[in-house]
Amino acid sequence: DQQVKQNSPSLSVQEGRISILNCDYTNSMFDYFLWYKKYPAEGPTFLISISSIKDKNEDGRFTVFLNKSAKHLSLHIVPSQPGDSAVYFCAASRNLIFGKGTKLSVKP
Amino acid sequence: NAGVMQNPRHLVRRRGQEARLRCSPMKGHSHVYWYRQLPEEGLKFMVYLQKENIIDESGMPKERFSAEFPKEGPSILRIQQVVRGDSAAYFCASSSTSGLGEKLFFGSGTQLSVL
């Protein structure tokens, strides 16, 4: 019974275009969401977060949008760069419940 | 200024043996979390510890698995009588507080292979 779902296992985007990674959750009690990025053979690294009282948080090329009524959040990366190629995990508080991840490939 | 250190990076055990995974949190961090990642799966929470205390072990299997975070030394995740299904990547993370939305800093993981 997955509480945090990332339904797209992979995404391929051209360099310079926008990458949109999606995440759905089922528990309306979640009050904080985070995105982590993971390279092979490394641990996840924190990317960006959003509190449930907000609907948008922006940090440079990364923006996270939260739609509480739809229990949906998305991570936008623009412009996408080849170095962004990694697996992206959506996670929800507390104790960080992770989705299965989306592997992003940015092609030059 | 070392990050979260996990060792060993790779651990091979035969069925029935014990596996001990170590995690040294970032300097100044007193909160440690263990996660397990099975192939093609996301990271699953196992246990959350503070120094000398288990705060939340809701993700730990009921048998064979235990964790500790002593006053001195690293946190240890111990798996007794390993089975093939225990083969996974085990990640440790640490934080300085346990506040809402607190960022966790992850180690590079220990890849456990059970033969």
In a 3-state reduction of DSSP, which class is residue A99? Answer: coil
For residue B52, what pLDDT band results from cuts at 50, 70 and 90? Answer: confident
pLDDT of A5 > 80? The answer is yes
B47 shares contact with chain A (CB less than 8 Å): no
CA atoms of A32 and A29, how far apart (whole Å)? 9
b/e burial code for range A50-67 (CB count within 10 A of at least 16 → b): bebeeeebeeeebbbbbe
pLDDT of B9 > 70? The answer is yes
Q: Which residue's structure tokens are 């001990």?
A: B20
Strands in B65-68's sheet, in edge-to-edge order, are B5-7, B19-24, B75-79, B65-68
pLDDT per residue as tens digits for the range B59-112: 999 899 999 999 989 999 999 999 999 999 999 999 987 766 678 899 999 999
Which residues, in sequence order, are bridge partners of residue A72?
Answer: A24, A67
Q: State the average pLDDT over residues A72-83.
A: 97
What is the pLDDT, as a whole number, of residue B61?
94
Which amino acid is residue B43, in one-letter code?
A: L
Output the average pLDDT for chain B. 92
Q: How many angstroms away from the CA of B94 is the closest CA of chain A? A: 11
CA atoms of B93 and B25, how far apart (whole Å)? 7
Whether B49 and B110 have beta carbons less than 8 Å apart is answered as: no
Q: How many angstroms away from the CA of A82 is the closest CA of chain B? A: 22
Q: Nearest-CA residue of chain A relative to B38?
A: A100
In a 3-state reduction of DSSP, which class is residue B40? Answer: coil
* Pick from B26, B35, B27, B34: nearest CA to B54: B34
What is the pLDDT, as a whole number, of residue B101?
65
Whether A34 and A94 have beta carbons less than 8 Å apart is answered as: no
Whether B82 and B13 have beta carbons less than 8 Å apart is answered as: yes
pLDDT of A53 > 90? The answer is yes
CB contact under 8 A, A44 and B91: yes
